[in-house]
Chain A
């Protein structure tokens, strides 16, 4: 029967070609679309995890501790070594957040000084995104500080000016003067009004030698949302290695709001996919449907020649199936290599990448498609094609031969 169907299809070459091309086009487009959406989703994932790390290490109860000295991980160098031994290949970033009084020439404010030590790429990413003027303090810089724009305004300090930090009662020097080297526009207003960045050694020197508030672990093998659940066993492993004094959290646990945001992308993607698939479905439906309707007369002839009705229905369906499958296969053959090529990294042409970057996406993105997404695409295209054929096939099967032969589409 499939052979018959195959032959029938080639009898109506133009028409069949049209229908197969329609299915193929939809499959091709869908694969590409999935790949692009996957790239956006993973791009977002990479941006988020680049900012906060995949896994964070804090002191246990860090959310409730208000006392600065109780809130830090002391002996950070040893902890870092243990992290690197447990999870080799991990890039470890560290931050020490010091509540301090920051003073300009005349005005002073309560501020949160963040001593940062980040992988170079993460640092640059941060600088391009948030630095308004000047630069960030260099990794070992004991003198430079970058202020939140609103904080700089209230302190009436600009690049080149000196600001003074007071943190009496800490284990460090408790006071230090810094030169403003840059202004950072933090996206969060309260952070912009309170936040300042200095190097980790500078913050440790000021308030807590050898201590950090948290470690951020960047695991280079986790670049895709789909792999995210793989973080859980690693977290367990690290927790066991670090002991009870510290708590290991995945980025989702540390930043539930960001996790919610990442999750909320899924319904959005589904809405986009639905809008797209409905259109693609219409494209397949009208092509297959018209090509089947058109042949009503032919079916009438077949029935008149004594074929059983069920057989006619099945024949039409088989034809449709072969047609859709051929088109889908062609679409996949053309689409998958393209996605595979884009999975090695691509950026948008014509300066679009800058806009995409402003959106919070990396400039170079990696297309990504999951096997189930290919399956969904195939099932959708073939399913819609079959459904489109089913109704005319039933009509054809039920036709009185004479009527059918007279039928003009």
Chain B
């Protein structure tokens, strides 16, 4: 379900330490499991705002499908992610494009998320976690990239609710200690035992006024989605 909270879409390996156990708990909240819903994506720039409405299907793991429903100009555009691969469908052309590496730097619908952010990878595979502070209300983890991990960041801090481990904020630092991107989560909802954030804000800290907000609505979790939802056919025709 967290198809858009991509930066943290995960399949976790066994957590060897406490910190990793916490991280896994945070991620479990984040993932929400298999389900479908509507995302309203607002791309804000210093002098303008653009809003997209899209329907999302996710298997809660590494597969997801997104179809744009509004504005009319973009309706029918669809994106399919299976593992590391990403496909784009253009209804105007009735054609599917598998994203080439040279296209991965382009931004997703003009937002602050690039296609390469979407092919979210296993956080635990790439980072080692450490608890830096924990009080009654929040717990803060520090994530340091493992050697050779394909991430350009120097450090991540993850803030979560100390009780529910609901994610609150991810901050991305460059390798010089400067914060470059912040993702904040709010308006959590209960999904079974989990606390799922329905509002995600991605902020570019280097460029004031650049912000992308994703708000979930009409979500249904725990629905069994057919395998056919994550195929190229579904990319073109949708998954009902």
Contact = CB atoms under 8 A, between A and B. Distances in A.
Nearest to A175: B90
Interface in B82-120: 88, 90-93, 95, 97-100, 102-111
Given A70-B45, A101-B88, A169-B108, A174 B77 contact: yes
Contacts of A103: 95, 97
A103 B210 CA distance: 30
A168 B100 contact: no
B95 A164 contact: yes
Interface residues of B, number: 30
A164 B98 contact: no
Interface in A16-67: 67
Contacts of A194: 102
Interface stretch (A106-114, A250-258, A344-352): A106-114
A101 B100 contact: yes
Interface size class of A (residues with CB under 8 A): 20 to 34
A67 to B, nearest CB: 7
A110 B95 contact: no
Nearest to B111: A169
A327 to B, nearest CB: 67
Interface string B49-80: 01010000000000000000000011001000
B54 to A, nearest CB: 11
Contacts of B95: 103, 164, 175, 177
A169 B98 contact: no
A108 B98 contact: yes
A177 B103 contact: no
A67 B98 CA distance: 22
A216 B44 CA distance: 30
A10 interface: no
Nearest to B45: A70
A93 to B, nearest CB: 26
Interface string A101-131: 1010001111000000000000000000000
A169 B52 CA distance: 9
A175 B79 CA distance: 14
A101 B99 contact: yes
Contact of A168 (B43, B48, B50, B90): B90
Nearest to A100: B106
Interface of B: 43, 45-46, 48, 50, 52, 73-74, 77, 88, 90-93, 95, 97-100, 102-111, 210
